[in-house]
Amino acid sequence: MTHPRSASGAPSSRGRHQRPGKTGSAVAPEGRAAALEQYRRRADRYDRELALFEPIRNDAVACLRLARNDTVLDVGCGTGLSFQLFHDRIGEGGRIVGIEQCPEMLAKAQQRVEQHRWRNVDLVCAPAATARVPVRADAALFHFTHDVLRDEAAVDNVLSHLEPGARVVASGLQWAPPWAWPANGFVMLAAMYSVTSLEGLGRPWDRLAARLKDVEVRTLMMGGIYIASGVYSPRRH
């Protein structure tokens, strides 16, 4: 099995970080700086803040239809809250690659890996647009990663590491129908706390969906939450 490599091209250890590369990203520097600062502040309390949304994470991971020995990319993995769900499905013979640009969040993910003594997790500290992950994965999850989904370079880079036919799932906030004003009030408050731009919040998944086939979008919470799934097809990428 091929292991992820560091930005220099040298093999990285399981559960270790790759430092961000120096290549450019489609995201403006000020946007990335804002995102990093936002999640640095939240790192210590992040798991508690997302406890309410764990049923959504469970549904999103289930939509990946993971099998034993699969390799899965966790894009914007944060503190690694999805790792246990992945591991339960893929077993020790599978592989988890967590991509996260915030060092403070990834340090929490590293602690989680060490606590569980998982030997099949690689952590990549880099923006999704420039992360170098030389594996071909069977699935990819974008869970509450609005900024990443709106960055076409990030979406393209992640998809370039997938096997044809890989399952891809995205989940997160979106604007509900106008009549669902309580849901939209919630979405606004949550978005102001977790994204750097409201651009595309009506259809956060559309740039990803344009690169997939067999796309299905399900909504929850009066339309304020979505789970979009599809299949990677290189001919659409």
113-135 residue pLDDT tens? 999 999 999 999 999 999 999 78
Kindly report, residue by residue over 150-174, the tens digit of the pLDDT. Answer: 999 999 999 999 999 999 999 999 9
Give tens-digit pLDDT for 172-219.
Answer: 999 999 999 999 999 999 888 788 889 999 999 999 999 999 999 999
> What pLDDT sits at residue 17?
43
Amino acid 228: pLDDT: 99
Number of structural domains the chain divides into: 1
In a domain, 151, yes or no: yes
Q: Does 172 fall in a domain?
A: yes
In this structure, is residue 222 part of a structural domain?
yes
Candidates 186, 166, 162; CA nearest to 176 is 186
pLDDT of 110: 95
Q: In the predicted model, is pLDDT for residue 7 greater than 90?
A: no
Q: What is the structure's pLDDT at 15?
A: 47
Is the distance from CB of 89 to CB of 70 less than 8 angstroms?
Answer: yes
pLDDT value at 77 more than 80: yes
Please report which confidence band the pLDDT of residue 85 belongs to, taking 50, 70 and 90 as the band edges.
very high
What pTM does this model have? 0.83
Residue 15 lies in a domain: no
Annotate 138-162 with b (16+ C-beta within 10 A) or e (fewer): bbbbbbbbbbbbbbebbbebbbebb
Whether residue 20 is contained in a domain is answered as: no
- DSSP per-residue string spanning 32-71: HHHHHHHHHHHGGGHHHHTGGGHHHHHHHHHHT---TT-E
Q: What digits encode the pLDDT tens for the residues 17-72? A: 443 333 334 455 655 666 666 666 665 666 677 778 899 999 999 999 999 999 99
Residue 149 has pLDDT above 70, yes or no: yes
Average pLDDT over residues 67-94: 97
Structural domain includes residue 211: yes
Query: What pLDDT is recorded for position 45?
Result: 67
Averaged pLDDT of the chain: 85
User: What's the pLDDT at 6?
Assistant: 35
Distances in Å between the Cα of 46 and the Cα atoms of 62, 81, 109, 220 are 22, 10, 11, 22
Task: Note whether residue 5 is domain-resident.
Answer: no
Identify whether 38 is part of a domain. Answer: yes
Q: Is 101 left (phi over 0), alpha (psi -120 to 50) or beta?
A: alpha
Find the domain containing 40 and state its range: 29-236
The pLDDT value given to residue 95: 98
CATH of the domain at 168: 3.40.50.150
pLDDT at 190: 87
